[in-house]
Amino acid sequence: MDSTFAVQAAGNTRNLQVTYDRVAMEVNGGGLQLAYDSQGPSTQRSPLAMMGSLIGKPFTGTGRGDQRVRHYEGYD
């Protein structure tokens, strides 16, 4: 996965926005060999193509100074 991250800090609160720019994966098992690359037109009919729905849709995690994410938004 290729991702873009943006971090904002306000006091003790941290907001991390993540956007996936590219998804590529291979699955081998049970006699199946599946591949998907969001930038490769030859894999757009792959059963893994649903992963392409992650591209360009940002989600945000909010946390405190203890490095733990307390809340997510926009992540379906």
For 24-74, the pLDDT digits (tens) are: 999 999 898 999 999 988 888 888 898 888 899 999 988 887 777 778 888
Tokens for 35, please give them: 């591949």
Instruction: For residues 61 and 72, give the distance between their C-alpha atoms in angstroms, rounded to a whole number.
Output: 4
Which pair of tokens denotes residue 25?
């994966």
Report the predicted TM-score, pTM, of the whole model to 2 decimal places. 0.70
Q: To which residue do tokens 């991250």 refer?
A: 5
pLDDT at 76: 65
Is 51 exposed, middle or buried, given 0-12, 13-18 or 19+ CB atoms closer than 10 A?
middle
* Maximum separation of any 2 CA atoms in the chain, in Å: 52
